Amino acid sequence: MTATGTYSPQPGAAPLARMIAAQAVLETKMLLRNGEQLLLTVIIPTLLLVLFSTVDVVDTGDGAAVDFLAPGILALAVMSTAFTGQAIATGFERRYGVLKRLAASPLPRWGLMTAKTLSVLVTEVLQVVLLTVIALTLGWDPQGSALAVIALLALGTAAFSGLGLLMAGTLKAEATLAAANLVFLLLLVGGGVVVPLDKFPEAAQDVLGLLPIAALSEGLRDVLQHGAGMPWAGLGILTAWAVAGLAAAGAFFRWE
């Protein structure tokens, strides 16, 4: 036994901050490299924003269409990354043993989850910047406080992450893929993203209004289109979804 051989043991974990940063960078790279993920997080929100702002497909009420659409599309961007994208990616990571293998690495499980959240936030920042620039060139005139917008986006991210991870950690990867896309489509149509909620029957409106996507898109619209203060009702609904979703994900998530 040579003390200085190539492989002689020198075990040790990297500093926690370095591990989490490295994990977040890798997760973000994997997301940006994945064509289907980009379709969901970048291309669909961009197309919807441009199409519905420039072509009169839905009646978006008084004022410029883009002022109605931009908040909804921002909500959609959050949902596409925190819920749909995260659910599908995490589901397949679970299926292919990535989560299992990383669970045996020095990176703690909570560190992996922190990195996933950071990666979601980085992606959302890129989405918000891109969509904001496009909306502004389409004549968007945003109102309200940035703080209220950030609070909504943050709670929306927490709510959708909880639901996405719950799905990824309990269903088969293929089922997650199908269900996450279906939910994305249903919530896109029925969550006040591009179709105003008041187009639906009154009884349906009350139920739809409780959906996390509706709370987020309507909350953003109240602030950005109508200049409202803190949209407490929407924040309350999102908090309830976040607590329930994250608690359920924490309880039922299976790593393999």
Partner 1 sequence: MRSEPVVQVQVLVKRYGTKTAVDGLDLAARQGVTAVLGPNGAGKTTTVEICEGYRRPDSGTVRVLGLDPVRESAALRPRIGVMLQSGGVYAGARADEMLRHVAQLHARPLDVDALIERLGLGSCGRTSYRRLSGGQQQRLALAMAVVGRPELVFLDEPTAGLDPQARHATWDLVRDLRDDGVSVVLTTHYMDEAEQLADDVAIIDAGRVVAQGSPEELCRGGAENTLRFSGRPGLDVASLLKALPSDASAAEVTPGSYRVTGKVDPQLLATVTSWCAQHGVLPDRISVERHTLEDVFLELTGKELRS
Total residues contacting partner 1 (rule CB under 8 A)?
36
C-beta of 130: minimal distance to partner 1 in Å? Answer: 22
Residue with tokens 């908040």: 71
Residues 164-223 that bind partner 1 (CB under 8 A): none
Which two structure tokens, joined as six digits, stand for 109? 């499980």
Q: Which residue number, 10 or 55, has a Cβ lying nearer to partner 1?
A: 10
Task: Name which position in 68, 101, 117, 129 contacts partner 1 (CB under 8 A).
Answer: 101
Q: Does 1 bind partner 1 (CB under 8 A)?
A: yes
Task: Name which position in 46, 58, 92, 128 contacts partner 1 (CB under 8 A).
Answer: 92
**What sign does the CA torsion over 6, 16, 122, 249 have?**
positive
31, 115 Cβ separation under 8 angstroms: no
Q: Does 10 bind partner 1 (CB under 8 A)?
A: yes
CA atoms within 13 A on the CB side of 70: 27
Residues ≥6 apart with Cβ < 8 Å to 21 = 115
Q: Exposed, middle or buried, 254 (CB in 10 Å: 0-12/13-18/19+)?
A: exposed
Q: Which residue number, 23 or 225, has a Cβ lying nearer to partner 1?
A: 23
Q: Which residues bind partner 1 (CB under 8 A)?
A: 1-3, 5-14, 18-19, 22-23, 26, 29-30, 33-34, 92-93, 96-98, 100-101, 103-108, 256
